[in-house]
Amino acid sequence: MKQIRRALWAATRQQVEPEEASQMLEVIPPERRFLLYYRDAQLDRDLERYRLYTHEGLRFRAIALIECSIQAGRPLKPEQIPRTIRMLVPGENAVRMAVQRIYAAVYLKPMVKGRRRRIDAPAEGMPPYHCEKHGQDCSKSCERFQSWWKRVSRTLPTPTTGKLRGEIAHPEGSLRRRA
């Protein structure tokens, strides 16, 4: 994430002469042309939205709720956001467009419309667990482990993920129909 931020920041800092600008438009991929007109504050805001989406695993609505709470003077942490938010949040569409724009600038291809499938890639984009005190041998009472688990558990599949309505998981690992 830091490398992306540095590369995008360096691209916005380069001064271009007016004669060069028309020639550069042919070289700059269309997915990155918005960087020519972006202000630093806009770029920082959109990179933070992208980080919350990819690294924290938050949905667009949750990111918009965090931004609204900050504007209202009651900032929320990502851990305080409920798993499902059943109300409309102003700015949700702007968050979606910003994340898609940054994704396209980084990977030079449009972002897939659907959210990642929890079955295919659980905890994708989450950093591996490591504690400064205990390494990877933490107990469940370690504060660092508990905060990491809260972030990761949001991305893990539920017991009913990928099953048809009426199917339940059998303890031996097979599926059976509910009677």
Residue 150 has what pLDDT? 80
Q: Which residues pair with 121 in a beta bridge?
A: none
Please answer whether residues 155 and 57 qualify as being in contact, where contact means their C-beta atoms are separated by less than 8 angstroms: yes
Let me know whether 93 and 141 are in one domain: no
Binning pLDDT at 50, 70 and 90, where does residue 60 land? very high
Say whether pLDDT at 56 is over 50: yes
- pLDDT tens digits, one per residue of 3-39: 777 777 777 777 777 777 666 667 778 888 888 888 9
Domain count within the chain: 2
Q: What is the pLDDT of residue 49?
A: 95
64/125 same-domain check: no
Strand, coil or helix: 35: helix
pLDDT at 118: 47
DSSP string, 91-104: THHHHHHHHHHHHH
Mean pLDDT of all residues in 70-83? 86
Last residue of a domain, one of 59, 80, 107: 107
Which of 106, 110, 96 has the alpha carbon at shortest distance from 32? 106
Burial of 32 (0-12, 13-18, 19+ CB in 10 A): middle
Is residue 114 a part of any domain in this protein?
Answer: no
Report the share of the chain in percent with pLDDT over 70. 73
20 lies in the same domain as 58:
yes
Q: What is the C-alpha to C-alpha distance for residues 151 and 78, in angstroms, rounded to an integer?
A: 8
Token duo for residue 36: 């020519």
Q: In whole angstroms, how large is the CA radius of gyration of the chain?
A: 21
Same domain assignment for residues 132 and 168:
yes
Give the pLDDT confidence of 97-106 residue by residue, as tens digits.
999 999 999 9
Domain with 74 in it:
2-107
